Structure 1
Amino acid sequence: MMADAFEPLKNDLIIRAAWGQKVERPPMWVMRQAGRYLPEYHEAKGNRDFFECCRDPEVASTLTLQPIERFAGLIDAAIIFSDILVIPQAMGMVVEMVDKKGPHFPNPLRSPDDDQYSELLKRHVDVAAELDYVYKAITLTRKKLQGKVPLIGFCGAPWTLFCYMVEGGGTKLFKETKTWIYKYPDESQDLLQKISELCVEHLALQVKAGAQLVQIFDSWAGELSPPSFKKFSEPYLAYISENLPRRLRELDLEPVPMIVFPKGAWYALDSVCNLGYNVVGLDWLHDPAEAVKTVGDRPVVIQGNADPGVLYGSHESITQAVKEMVDGFGWAQRRHGWIVNLGHGITPFVDPEDLRFFFQEVHRLTS
Structure 2
Amino acid sequence: MTQLKNDLVLRALKGEQTERVPVWMMRQAGRYLPDYLKLKAKYDFFTRVETPELATEITLQPIDQVGVDAAIIFSDILVIPQAMGVEVLMEEGKGPSLPNVIKNQQDIDALVTEGVEESLKYVTDALSLTKKELNGRVPLIGFAGAPWTILCYMVEGKGSKTWDKAKQFAYTEPKLAHQLLQKITDITINYLKAQVKAGADLVQVFDSWAGSLSPADFGTFSKPYLVQIAEAVATDAPVILFPKGTWHAIEDLSKTAASGIGIDWTITPQQARAFAGDRVALQGNFDPAKLLAPIPQIKQWVNEMLDGFGTQRYIANLGHGITPNVPVDHAKAFVEAVKEYQIKN
| Same fold per superposition (TM over 0.5) | yes
Match of 2:191 in 1: 202
Displaced runs of 4+ in structure 1, greater than 4 A?
none
Measure how far apart 1:320 and its partner are.
2.2
Match of 1:218 in 2: 207
**Equivalent residue for 1:306, pick from 269, 286, 292:** 286
Measure how far apart 1:124 and its partner are.
4.3
Q: In the alignment, residue 52 of structure 1 is paired with which amino acid?
A: T
Is 268-277 or 186-195 further displaced after alignment?
268-277
Measure how far apart 1:47 and its partner are.
2.6
**1:326-355 C-alpha deviation (Å, 9 max, x unpaired):** 111133xxxx11001011110121001011
Taking the aligned partners of 1:176 and 1:314, their CA distance within structure 2 comes to 40
**Equivalent residue for 1:324, pick from 295, 300, 304:** 304
The question of whether the paired residues in 1 share the 8 Å contact of 2:234 and 2:258 is answered with no
Q: In the alignment, residue 181 of structure 1 is paired with which amino acid?
A: A
The question of whether the paired residues in 2 share the 8 Å contact of 1:45 and 1:59 is answered with no
Match of 2:24 in 1: 29
Match of 1:106 in 2: 99
Structure 2: segments with no counterpart, 5+ residues: none
Measure how far apart 1:41 and its partner are.
0.1
Match of 1:186 in 2: 175
Q: In the alignment, residue 78 of structure 1 is paired with which amino acid?
A: A
The question of whether the paired residues in 2 share the 8 Å contact of 1:142 and 1:151 is answered with yes
The question of whether the paired residues in 1 share the 8 Å contact of 2:247 and 2:272 is answered with no
Q: In the alignment, residue 80 of structure 1 is paired with which amino acid?
A: I
The question of whether the paired residues in 2 share the 8 Å contact of 1:32 and 1:345 is answered with yes
* Aligned-residue CA RMSD (Å): 1.2
Match of 2:331 in 1: 355
Q: In the alignment, residue 364 of structure 1 is paired with which amino acid?
A: E
Measure how far apart 1:44 and its partner are.
2.5
Measure how far apart 1:90 and its partner are.
0.1
**1:126-161 C-alpha deviation (Å, 9 max, x unpaired):** 101100000000000000011111100000000000
Taking the aligned partners of 2:164 and 2:11, their CA distance within structure 1 comes to 42
Identity rate, percent: 48
SS at match of 1:291: helix
Match of 2:58 in 1: 63
The question of whether the paired residues in 2 share the 8 Å contact of 1:302 and 1:339 is answered with yes
**1:222-280 C-alpha deviation (Å, 9 max, x unpaired):** 0000110000000000110112245xxxxxxxx32110001011221111212220000
CA 1:353–1:92 in 2, change beyond 3 Å: closer, same or farther? Answer: same
Taking the aligned partners of 2:170 and 2:58, their CA distance within structure 1 comes to 37
**Equivalent residue for 2:39, pick from 38, 41, 44:** 44
Measure how far apart 1:317 and its partner are.
2.1
The question of whether the paired residues in 1 share the 8 Å contact of 2:227 and 2:256 is answered with yes
Measure how far apart 1:116 and its partner are.
2.2
**Equivalent residue for 2:245, pick from 264, 275, 279:** 264
Number of paired residues? Answer: 343
TM-score (norm 1): 0.91
